[in-house]
Structure 1
Amino acid sequence: MTHGLIHHIELYVSDLSKSTAFWGWFLRELGYTSFQKWEGGQSWKLEDTYLVFVQAEERFLDIPYHRCRTGLNHLAFHASSREFVDEMTKKLQQRGVTILYSDRHPFAGGENHYAVYFEDPDRVKVELVAP
């Protein structure tokens, strides 16, 4: 049953090529596949849910995103296991992605919350959570 599940999330980004390189790799690792692609955007889909990334218009690029303002704080994804979180953490580090809260990793969310936190190219926080 899909009633109530997220259909899609659309994010406007400052540099579509950087964002699609970052998100494309990460989402493929989670099992998403490329769904739609057009001049100003791209999406990836997993089952009935998809994520869309759209190039923000030039006139809005002087207002930088910050997750502590009104709006989106972060996106959190399920991981299949703690081992997968560990594998992804290594891959993120190899790609030069900063791990947030590294002094408390992988328990930055609390002693019973095993996850890795990091940022996309626009500094949107992303969380990958083990069961």
Structure 2
Amino acid sequence: MKYKYGVGISHLEFWVKDLEESLAFYGALFPLIGWYALTSTSFSCGIHELYFKEMPVQRHDTVGVRHICFHAPSRAVVDKVGEWLRGIRADIIRGPQAMPHYTEQYYTVDFRDPNGFVLEVAYMPDIEL
């Protein structure tokens, strides 16, 4: 069977407490790492789609995905994201910093979005999938 886009993840749906706040945050973050707006509530890197829905639910800790890591094309992009995060006073968990215990060139910044989701932007040229 042929697939139009190949196998893999088609999209991710984020439920957020404040759609406008989340769209402002991701609308600034995504261009830094090469993503673009598809619609007023969705973004893409050309392969995957991520979209947002405002839901009237309280945040609960749960098991599941711990974080989403976005690939950066260079260390400079990771540094640019780190600078932007500091500028908006985001909750930075770690970085930008090297993580040589992962691989020699792994360079990352981990942070929380306005909803508390953990995100990572990492440069990892020596990792093969």
Normalised-by-shorter TM-score class: 0.7 to 0.9
Q: Taking every aligned residue pair, what percent have the same amino acid on both sides?
A: 26
SS at match of 2:92: coil
> 2:49 maps to which residue?
50
> 1:123 maps to which residue?
116
Which amino acid is 2:51 matched to?
Answer: V
Q: Distance in 1 between matches of 2:97 and 2:73?
A: 15
Q: Distance in 2 between matches of 1:47 and 1:20?
A: 19
Which amino acid is 1:50 matched to?
Answer: E
Q: CA deviation at 1:108?
A: 5.6
Q: Distance in 2 between matches of 1:86 and 1:127?
A: 12
CA contact (8 A) 2:32 2:80 kept: no
Q: Which runs of 4+ in 1 moved over 6 A?
A: none
Instruction: Give the length in aligned residue pairs.
Output: 119
Q: TM-score when scaled to structure 2?
A: 0.80
CA RMSD of aligned residues (A): 2.0
Which amino acid is 1:49 matched to?
Answer: H
Q: Distance in 2 between matches of 1:36 and 1:109?
A: 38
> 1:106 maps to which residue?
97
> 1:28 maps to which residue?
31
SS at match of 2:23: helix
SS at match of 1:72: coil
SS at match of 1:100: strand
Which amino acid is 1:32 matched to?
Answer: W
Q: TM-score when scaled to structure 1?
A: 0.79
Q: Distance in 2 between matches of 1:92 and 1:5?
A: 30
Which amino acid is 2:66 matched to?
Answer: N
* Unmatched runs of 5 consecutive residues or more in structure 1: none
